[in-house]
Amino acid sequence: MLKMKYLSETYNIKVFTEDGDYFGDIEEPLLSDNKVAAWRIKATRGSLLNRIIGGAKGVIVPHQLVKTIGDIMLISRQAVPSYKED
């Protein structure tokens, strides 16, 4: 069964990758023609995103890379910016 969710209910939802890594929190949806085109994800303390991008505040994830939204958001691993660990 399809469950509907108001956009106002998505703020600050925790975002995880397919691999189970905590990625960050939803800051806001980005709309285009009354549809969600992308999601602004903020880098929070202890998140994978914070470790990858360092001083930046967050990233924009296209809606096509979102797997599901419920109590958490699950995103594709393709949404994770690539980086090299030293």
In a domain, 68, yes or no: yes
Q: Check residue 30 and give its pLDDT.
A: 95
Three-state DSSP string of 55-75: CCCEEEEEHHHEEEECCCEEE
In a domain, 57, yes or no: yes
Domain that residue 36 falls in: 9-79
Please tell me which of 1-5, 12-16, 55-59 the model is most confident about, judged by mean pLDDT: 12-16
In a domain, 1, yes or no: no
In a domain, 35, yes or no: yes
Output the pTM of the full model. Answer: 0.85
In a domain, 3, yes or no: no
Provide the number of structural domains found in the chain. Answer: 1
Q: How far apart are CA 40 and CA 73, in angstroms?
A: 12
In a domain, 49, yes or no: yes
Average pLDDT over residues 42-62: 88
CATH of the domain at 13: 2.30.30.240
User: Which tens digit of pLDDT belongs to each residue from 20-34?
Assistant: 999 999 999 999 999
In a domain, 75, yes or no: yes
